[in-house]
Amino acid sequence: MSLTYAILSALVGAPSSGYDLAKRFNPSVEGSVGFFWNASFQQIYRELNRLEEKEWLQAKSVQQENRPDKRIYSITPVGEQQLCQWISELEEMTPIKDELLVKLFVGHLVPRQTLLSKLENHRQQHQQRLAIYQQIKHQYFQEPQVLSEALKFQYMTLLRGIHHETGWLSWCDEIMPLLK
């Protein structure tokens, strides 16, 4: 259900085409909803059509000369009202669901090197993702206390990404010695 609201949220203050949205739903784009939600372009276009039909979004066709024409979606008052209501609802903690941990749980069934390689690989990926987040932090959020309201909230989600990645790194560092 949340893709609905993730799209609505992404469009608040930033009307976008499906194509642009799809890019923003990718985790390595700055200031992006990709920090905390992701979806394929097919999912996004489908959801945009549903939301337009419900009139939570409205679309404006834009003729372009240098590229194919596109449709820019923006949130309607009804959509914003629905979004606000959803925000106010109670939500549960998101449970962990992670393939790597399933694999590790029965790690004794495979050679040690298999898992060690996986962990080294994951560690590196988390390190890279963290570097992206840190770069965004330094570029756009040098002085958090002077940010606009809207940006302050985006900064908080970025911080969540940073804590997420540092948590993975410290875990890797703690368990890799146990594996050797």
Partner DNA sequence: ATTTTATATTCAATTTAGTGAATATTCTCA
Partner DNA sequence: TGAGAATATTCACTAAATTGAATATAAAAT
Instruction: Give the whole-angstrom CA distance, residue 47 versus residue 180.
Output: 47
Question: Which of a second copy, DNA, none does 102 bind, CB closer than 5 to 8 A by kind?
Answer: a second copy
Residue 109 has, within 13 A of its CA and on its CB side, a CA count of 5
The answer to whether the beta carbons of residues 3 and 49 sit under 8 Å apart is no
Site for a second copy in 40-79 (CB under 8 A): none
**Token digits of residue 28:** 């390595």
**Type of residue found at 49:** N
For residues 19 to 38, the per-residue mask of contacts with DNA, x marking binding by CB under 7 A and - elsewhere, is xx-x----------------
175 part of the interface to a second copy, by CB under 8 A: yes
Q: Which residue has the tokens 């908080």?
A: 156
Min separation Cβ 158 and a second copy, Å = 10
User: Smaller CB distance to a second copy: residue 17 or 115?
Assistant: 115
The answer to whether the beta carbons of residues 73 and 57 sit under 8 Å apart is yes
User: Smaller CB distance to DNA: residue 67 or 138?
Assistant: 67
User: Smaller CB distance to DNA: residue 11 or 39?
Assistant: 39
Question: Which of a second copy, DNA, none does 46 bind, CB closer than 5 to 8 A by kind?
Answer: DNA
DSSP H helices, 26-92, are 41-53, 77-88
For residues 139 to 168, the per-residue mask of contacts with a second copy, x marking binding by CB under 8 A and - elsewhere, is -----x----xx-xxxxxx-xxx-xx-xxx
The answer to whether the beta carbons of residues 59 and 4 sit under 8 Å apart is no
67 part of the interface to DNA, by CB under 7 A: yes
Instruction: Give the whole-angstrom CA distance, residue 169 versus residue 112.
Output: 20
The residue within the footprint of DNA, chosen from 14, 31, 41, 141 (CB under 7 A), is 41
What are the percentages of helix, strand and coil residues in the chain, rounded to 5?
65, 10, 25
The answer to whether the beta carbons of residues 140 and 31 sit under 8 Å apart is yes
Residues found near a second copy in the complex (CB under 8 A):
2, 5-6, 9, 12, 27, 33-38, 80, 83-84, 86-88, 91, 93-110, 114, 118, 122, 125-126, 129, 144, 149-150, 152-157, 159-161, 163-164, 166-168, 170-171, 174-175, 178-179
